[in-house]
Structure 1
């Protein structure tokens, strides 16, 4: 790395959860390495990076202008950059093979003001600051389909891919084909992911699933950050209310149930002997 600070620039590689990778630099021309072009003129900059030894959390932030050439406000509002992976290098712009990693982590809270954004950057040690431990409850704490659950949601009968017929309430209520092979309520507490159109890659949780007049209507807990339109394709997966009966009867997965269905309730804990005359 050159000792002359005037030959140094910073570059950012940002990878969203949908797999899209974007590159930015504060240099006055584009730079490229590792198969990625880092675009100049995006208005991106970063405050001083504070790093410490041990398990201390790296602390920094990035700021930039909202523009079509860089980060678009619509994508930020849609949540496409939530928890996006981020790597920051310092490079010699004359020869980018001379570079070093300054920061590796993810985007945290993003705020907007005056046509610009400010994003908190969270280091790799951020998860270590969270409290851990197992909670003993009657319901299952696992997420359907994750490693603890062990259920394969890709098997037939537990997902469907269809086109939207009607979109209402800014995307919070979606009408699909009837899908008679699935019972009413089959997708309640399930997951919906938009796979085509401008909102592709966004997802939401299903609050209620009902069948009416030859159609299936899904009520979401919250509308996606960008509303889908009629004709967009979605993938929906079966829902689980995390009860033992559901795990056993709906998914035949009772051996992987992570809850404690026979745990005494609060009423049992405060029960007292009853005296009868």
Structure 2
């Protein structure tokens, strides 16, 4: 039986101290990938969390501090130590952030009774570092989830994450389709031809025609498609190709020249090259293809590497929400999605206000 209650066979083994009780660790990554590890010298096939039997491999997991020596330890913050280099986890996985927002389920099982594991506790992964081939990963007890701010903190800038439900801006879109109903403000991209730096937003709702229209190539121009009218708007995701490299933080690309700071505080995700799959936040964008990243890429950026760039937002009311993203009326009530308080008096104002 899987659960917090200690199975009788496990409890008997603990009390007798006559049998080694292997630790099993199930790591669940943010993308749903599940990695089973054990300190036992042979693979153990068991169902730790009720999601089905899976293999806990002895190859990658080497040491779990505090658990194996203190089975009745209180459930609080711990540290996981893994010898890297196996097929499941590598040093590159840790330093590239593969374990970010992951969780670990800790359990025990008798090798002679794999049908009755004991699910001991669950942890969220925190900070991690690497020394040689050893990765030390902070594990935070689930009570940490309750240590979160409640309510809305008032501040000058908008607290929404760009593209989330409160923001309401779609950051991805589908290709145009024939004979399809499109709502007002619906957005599409080209079905054929180069994606370029333009998407197309419906300014008149309706049904698209039988064939793909000849899309405008100038920002703000429109085209009638069946009963839909499309207006050319700036794309929110654009594919770029590296054309020159200064270092791992600064490089120049083709295909992404829009306007200055368009990708500032946005993200790029490398599609090819040694950094393929890695995402980095953009510090600045000069509007002609040169990007500077907040943190350098893990590996050298090479000419010819391709990446997808997501438009940025600095959470300002006029410059971003209204001017840059045209998000003024993107809500059911027709009011601004912006949730910042840019006219809120700051500390300096209140501290120097006249007294009496």
TM-score class, shorter: 0.7 to 0.9
In structure 2, the CA distance between the partners of 1:19 and 1:227, relative to structure 1 (3 Å rule), is farther
Work out the CA distance in 2 between the residues paired with 1:146 and 1:232: 29
Q: CA deviation at 1:264?
A: 3.4
In structure 2, the CA distance between the partners of 1:160 and 1:60, relative to structure 1 (3 Å rule), is same
**Does structure 1 conserve the Cα–Cα contact (< 8 Å) formed by 2:262 and 2:287?**
no
The equivalent residue for 1:85 is: 103
Q: CA deviation at 1:64?
A: 2.5
Q: CA deviation at 1:258?
A: 1.0
Q: CA deviation at 1:243?
A: 1.0
3-state SS in 2 of match to 1:8: coil
1:33-70 C-alpha deviation (Å, 9 max, x unpaired): 43643211324222335435xxxxx2222113232445
The equivalent residue for 2:322 is: 248
Q: Which runs of 5+ in 1 are unaligned?
A: 53-57
**Does structure 2 conserve the Cα–Cα contact (< 8 Å) formed by 1:44 and 1:62?**
no
Matched, 1:179 2:179: no
In structure 2, the CA distance between the partners of 1:43 and 1:100, relative to structure 1 (3 Å rule), is closer
Work out the CA distance in 1 between the residues paired with 2:272 and 2:55: 26
The equivalent residue for 1:65 is: 83
The equivalent residue for 2:236 is: 158
Q: CA deviation at 1:190?
A: 1.0
**Does structure 1 conserve the Cα–Cα contact (< 8 Å) formed by 2:238 and 2:255?**
no
1:27-176 equivalences in 2 (<5 Å): 27-33=40-46, 34=52, 36-49=54-67, 50-51=73-74, 58-69=76-87, 71-113=89-131, 115-155=133-173, 156=199, 157-170=235-248, 172-176=249-253
**Does structure 1 conserve the Cα–Cα contact (< 8 Å) formed by 2:24 and 2:108?**
yes
In structure 2, the CA distance between the partners of 1:51 and 1:174, relative to structure 1 (3 Å rule), is farther
The equivalent residue for 1:13 is: 26
The equivalent residue for 1:199 is: 275
**Does structure 1 conserve the Cα–Cα contact (< 8 Å) formed by 2:270 and 2:277?**
yes
**Does structure 2 conserve the Cα–Cα contact (< 8 Å) formed by 1:63 and 1:116?**
yes
**Does structure 2 conserve the Cα–Cα contact (< 8 Å) formed by 1:191 and 1:204?**
yes
Q: Which runs of 5+ in 2 are unaligned?
A: 1-6, 47-51, 68-72, 174-198, 200-234, 329-335
3-state SS in 2 of match to 1:169: coil
3-state SS in 2 of match to 1:256: coil
Work out the CA distance in 2 between the residues paired with 1:51 and 1:253: 49
3-state SS in 2 of match to 1:160: strand
1:148-189 C-alpha deviation (Å, 9 max, x unpaired): 32222114411113343344412x123221334x32321112
Cα RMSD over matched residues? Answer: 2.8
Q: CA deviation at 1:226?
A: 4.2
Larger RCO of the pair (alpha carbons < 8 Å, separation 6+): 1
Greater Rg by CA: 2
3-state SS in 2 of match to 1:164: strand
- Number of residue equivalences: 263
The equivalent residue for 2:339 is: 258
